[in-house]
Structure 1
């Protein structure tokens, strides 16, 4: 996180040629992914700590001193496949927000004595863009000069990230419901980053690298039956397939999840799935039954238009007959208006 100002200063001091250079960031710097890691700790049931990481992180410092660290949230690694899927679809909603970005602009004067000290603690500001929210934060870090062309930046202590500050409370509630546990609304993040100077003559790193889902730590090829069933159950909990009020017209905001659904269905080629529509209890039961059928059909039509055979999809409308929760509050009624996916055979 604003770990990078240290980088610039270190180069200026330790490498004499940089003292006379017009830019201390000449050629730029690149994160050594194999020697770097970002981890976060979460607490469930009030006392069980779990530490997870991200498999794909890119980091660059451009020649103008702009430092960018890009985290592929699809690469969240809990060491359990379906837990990874829950984190992607229910918590981070990576079909809408595929990456987190940490940025700073480096000040070459911050670590003027690093060449003598070799290791120095500094407090650095940074911006964090996560889940559609951007916040300004600070963190104490240790900057270590490893060689002329290599440095390490590591957090002194874990950085607390409140889920509510980044709109992640609904995702936490979905995780709690899916896993049947309570989750503390706080994540503790640690960074250990190593950078190498880009070789002279190499193309400078992009100012804002883009990390796509193709870089995610995900099973390649088709899924087995267990993985398919688990994914359909998780996709059913996202609440991200939306329709116009009292209509079966899909809202544009649904496209990202429907495209993810298409990918999953495509990778479960031997299975027939049911697409089930559900409503709340507002209005006449007969109207709700018809609306739920129409909405499920709209999802089936979307998948068929993308190439899923109609024979692989059974469409069912359940109306208000299978509520998840009592229809006694607006929040509960919203939960009951849903599309669910399950394996038929």
Structure 2
């Protein structure tokens, strides 16, 4: 995939342009314009969509896999789950019913079968945030997220058999911060990790372009950024109005996809409340630190996603994406 083909224009989707009277194939391809706006680690956009007769198959784009940061594919599957849920929400917005299937084996990670008309239920407000949501790396302001909002976020997670827990205890926050510092240092000690991150920064996928992207790539490649990043991220954890972790009973591919689906619902619901989200993935990228996080927080299942939620002044620019047509093919 040519990085130069990524564009921020994809965020300007006109819902009024939905081809209601067109073929199912045309409708699916329009809905995929929303799916590609889903978040993913390093903005790697690890999805390939295969359009069949009334369904969409979702496969992993191996060339966009983060082999150093994500060797077991957890973050890849989370990203695919985010895209799946975005497509489902968009389909419901236009009255298209759909059923999501996940698969623990084989090239097709998920399949969305589009069916008869449905009622949009509570997804309407989530749909409105698809083109508004963004990941914010800045410090968050304001008080902790209210219990009413947290209960809503928990419901979104529970609907997919995913548990959401907020980390409120100061000692637990400090322990998570210690894990973050260690994970950042260990990741930065890996030349392969630094090369991979530098390549994504240099591609412009993380938002910087031109000279800024080249400088960022050089800094990550040649300087020891681990201690600095660790301190910065540990402070973000300590100061976060609300810190959350998503977990699943086990660690199957389908459960990871559902954790991604849950996170996208949560991110959209938070956006509807004027809140931003920011994943912190380094702890979960290190097997030992992931196990430690599970122990520190007393999680019975498997932690899948750690993220901050809070308010922040102003908006950040959306990151660019490859257009839907570039990541879509027709089933043979």
Q: TM-score surpassing 0.5?
A: no
Report the structure number with the largest CA radius of gyration.
1
Normalized per residue, the structure richer in helix is 2
Tell which has more relative contact order, 1 or 2 (C-alpha 8 A, sep 6+).
2
Given the two structures, how large is their TM-score scaled by the length of structure 2?
0.27
